[in-house]
Amino acid sequence: MTTADRRYGGRTVVARKAERRGRFIEAATRVFAERGYSTCSLAEVCTAAGLSKRQFYEEFQTREDVLIAAYDHIQDEAAAAVTGALAAQTTPPDPELALRLGFAAYLESLATDPYRTRLAFIEVVGVSDRMEEHRRARRHEWSRVIGGLLARLGVRLRGNAELTTGLITGAVNGIAHEWLVGEADRAPVTELVDLLTAVALSLVEPE
């Protein structure tokens, strides 16, 4: 039996580490959103997670590491929501319907928790060169997702694919930011989906 297979309290070491890591990520998301990443200490994150600094350093090296992990968790769940929404689409493929489903799933995933919204669009901005490069890499991942989706739908991007997908992801993130942080007089999600779908359709053409 390997160390990872050993059980403590009925759970394997791997399961216990995953649960502990999840608690740090959840606590960091809430604490950074509530108090601001720049002014929040590692001790506050540990207290919110109900875990020790020693346990933190078994999972992460720095406070910025858990910020990145929390940001990735939000992005990964949004990507899973989009993938799940599109998996149920009927054939033949309908580009407009697929775009509507994808945009709605993305916005609804982010809107489920105000802490996630603030961390994803505010607290990660301008933290460090490393964080900015990481955010850029995630945007490029979304660009690849969009490009792959469009190819399966039988359409292609107009002009330079990298720049055009960047335009789409920029529009999505920009409008999502304004919508999610502007709680007062918030437009219905269908209005945003209509707008984003119109923008995306104007940037594609049949293959």
Cα separation, 53 vs 125, in Å, equals: 26
**In this predicted model, what pLDDT tens digit does every residue of 80-130 receive, in sequence order?**
999 888 887 666 778 888 889 999 999 999 888 889 989 999 999 999 999
Q: What is the CATH topology of the domain spanning 1-60?
A: Arc Repressor Mutant, subunit A (1.10.10)
CATH architecture of 62-206: Orthogonal Bundle (1.10)
72 half-sphere exposure, CB direction, 13 A CA radius: 12
Q: 10 pLDDT band (50/70/90 cuts)?
A: low
Per-domain residue ranges of the chain: 1-60, 62-206
Cα separation, 151 vs 107, in Å, equals: 22
**According to the model, what pLDDT value does residue 184 have?**
60
Mean pLDDT of the residues in the chain = 87
Ramachandran class of 204: left when φ > 0, alpha when ψ lies in -120 to 50, beta otherwise: beta
Stated pTM of the model? 0.86
Task: List the structure tokens of 8.
Answer: 């403590």
**In this predicted model, what pLDDT tens digit does every residue of 149-170 receive, in sequence order?**
888 888 888 888 888 888 888 8
**In this predicted model, what pLDDT tens digit does every residue of 37-65 receive, in sequence order?**
999 999 999 999 999 999 999 999 999 99
